[in-house]
Amino acid sequence: MDKRFRDFLIDFNMFKNKHLWSGCFRDNSNCSQKVIKAHSIQNNKILNKISENGEVLMFGAVGGNEFGITTELQEQGRKKATTFTGFCGHHDHSIFRPIEDYDYIPGNTEQEFLYTYRATAKEYHSKKSVTNMYRTLLDLLDKGSYSEISKVFEANAPSEEHIGFMGDMFSGALFGSDDAEKRLERYRQKLNSDLDNRFYDDIITNVIVLEEEYHIAVSSMIFLEESLSGIKINDLGDFNISLAPLFITVFPQNGQTFILLSDFKRNDRRYRFIKEDLLKRDTKEIKMILSNIILSYIENLVVSPIRWKATEISTRNAITKLFDETTQEVDKPLIIDHNLDLFL
Ligand SMILES: [Zn+2]
């Protein structure tokens, strides 16, 4: 890869980290002054359990290939891992008590609501940050402040062609993320009003319990594209049809592993394959299917360094390969690797 382009991508990642949204997802008169780094996966109960010397593994960019940046599992301090500046101290502390201070009990709708709520807040933060970043980039491009976009341009200003390319790329990305931001804003209002009313029945959760403790954890909101039999659930190429989010939470607890698959009641028919098909499969198959979904849709995944080191190289390579090749892709099948097992 062109070194200039690689430097540009590295600067771009730094730029991204400088434009993170900071605010409280709850945002009401009880907010404390300071927005904190809130954990999207419980620090004391879960990250603590799966960390080694205070470190966990998460996918992160490591370097370039000809298409951009490749990713690999890397160590991250558990105090920083999976955190986001999306809650004030008061709300982060008070809202999540039922899942921070108590073990999860399948069927507890308040706890299931809170897992969904936190996954939405994380996604909201991410979309706000990305939109914010592209607006700033377009603004800098308009003003001709190229060196503020990337240090690469300090010595040589970008060519007309390069300026055109960046303009198309930034506005294209802004178009998509602007739309996503509006959608997340609607989810935020809905979930905050449900939280006010302690109304948890609009979140439908299917729970899978594995009778072994796997040391991985996931918290995320995704738009699954198709069911196991290939029926379209979300068309990511058509923003006019309303999207149906799926909230995925995975964590180990007391010798078992819990997988929570939640959706909004109004979308439950679109995800009926979960109850009618997925839940009826055997454990090995369920693990394979979930491994595919997690690795091709989710970045907010934490893996135990101890378990990872004890895993065969071929399995590790298959996991890294699927993550690296699919997270940015659309229009992908539900199962890509029929032998995959992320449950380490
Ligand atoms: Zn607050």
Q: How far is the CA of 117 from the centre of ligand 1 (A)?
A: 14
Q: How far is the CA of 196 from the centre of ligand 1 (A)?
A: 13
pLDDT for the residue numbered 1: 45
pLDDT bin (cut points 50, 70, 90) of residue 7 is low
Which residues make up the environment of ion ligand 1, defined by Cβ < 5 Å? 24, 26, 31, 88, 91
Q: How far is the CA of 95 from the centre of ligand 1 (A)?
A: 10
Q: How far is the CA of 28 from the centre of ligand 1 (A)?
A: 6
Q: How far is the CA of 191 from the centre of ligand 1 (A)?
A: 14
Global confidence as pTM: 0.91
DSSP state letters, 34-57: -EEEEESS-IIIIIHHH-BTTEEE
Residue 234, CB-side half-sphere exposure with 13 Å CA sphere: 17
pLDDT in tens, 302-324: 999 999 999 999 999 999 999 88
Q: How far is the CA of 184 from the centre of ligand 1 (A)?
A: 17
> What whole-number distance in Å separates Cα of residue 340 and Cα of residue 321?
11
Q: How far is the CA of 19 from the centre of ligand 1 (A)?
A: 20
Q: How far is the CA of 29 from the centre of ligand 1 (A)?
A: 8
Q: How far is the CA of 189 from the centre of ligand 1 (A)?
A: 14
pLDDT in tens, 206-252: 999 999 999 999 999 999 999 999 999 998 877 677 899 999 999 99
Q: How far is the CA of 97 from the centre of ligand 1 (A)?
A: 15
Q: How far is the CA of 161 from the centre of ligand 1 (A)?
A: 45
Q: How far is the CA of 27 from the centre of ligand 1 (A)?
A: 5
Q: Residue 30: pLDDT above 70?
A: yes
Q: Cα separations (Å) of 143 from 5, 7, 130, 149, 278?
A: 22, 22, 20, 11, 52
pLDDT bin (cut points 50, 70, 90) of residue 68 is low
> What whole-number distance in Å separates Cα of residue 166 and Cα of residue 204?
42
Q: What is the mean pLDDT of residues 108-130?
A: 95
Q: Apex CA 181: angle with CA 133 and CA 184, to 5°?
A: 140
Q: Residue 181: pLDDT above 60?
A: yes
Share of the chain above pLDDT 70, in %: 92
Q: How far is the CA of 195 from the centre of ligand 1 (A)?
A: 13
Q: How far is the CA of 254 from the centre of ligand 1 (A)?
A: 32
